[in-house]
């Protein structure tokens, strides 16, 4: 499962970065849930989740991104790669909706179901940064 989960998340980010938003919905399961501080808080369903990420990406002009992957969980803190959860730590620079430069760090925890589609995403971002970046 761990390789399937990793490939599913990589496929999602590649699809988003290529701007193929018509294909992003295929990355999500029918019952997918996205949680994000601010905005509507929770997005439910395949199309709603895809719509969220389209808005999340297109509402800002990203000029640089660094993405780290961590998979699995072990009580001792080791990354054992055995779980269907992947956490991405994202560092992003860009131009906000109000044309101000920004630098933010946030995390996204993805859960992948057995079918290889994303079943949930929890985004963690400082709410003050959400206001700064998205207005």
In contact, 88 and 107? CB cutoff 8 Å: yes
Question: What's the CA gap between 125 and 106, in Å, rounded?
Answer: 5
Mean pLDDT value across residues 59-72: 82
Task: Indicate whether 92 pLDDT > 90.
Answer: yes
Assign residue 62 a region (left: φ > 0; alpha: ψ between -120 and 50; beta: otherwise): beta
Task: Indicate whether 22 pLDDT > 80.
Answer: yes
* pLDDT confidence tier of residue 3, bands split at 50, 70 and 90: confident
For residue 104, CA distances in Å to 24, 37, 47, 97, 130 come to: 24, 15, 27, 14, 9
pLDDT digits (tens, 9 = 90+) for 47-56: 999 999 888 8
Task: Indicate whether 79 pLDDT > 60.
Answer: no
Mean pLDDT value across residues 10-34: 89
């Amino acid at each position: 499962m761990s390789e399937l989960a990793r490939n599913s998340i990589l496929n999602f980010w590649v699809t988003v970065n290529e701007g193929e938003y018509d294909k992003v919905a295929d990355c999500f399961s029918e019952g997918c849930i996205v949680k994000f501080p601010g905005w509507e808080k929770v997005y439910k369903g395949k199309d709603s989740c895809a719509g969220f990420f389209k808005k999340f990406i297109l509402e800002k002009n990203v000029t640089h991104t660094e993405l780290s992957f961590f998979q699995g969980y072990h009580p001792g803190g080791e990354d054992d790669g055995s779980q269907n959860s992947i956490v991405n730590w994202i560092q992003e620079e860009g131009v906000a909706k109000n044309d101000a430069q920004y630098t933010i760090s946030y995390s996204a925890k993805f859960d992948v179901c057995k079918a290889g589609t994303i079943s949930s995403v929890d985004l963690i971002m400082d709410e003050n940064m959400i206001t700064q970046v998205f207005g």
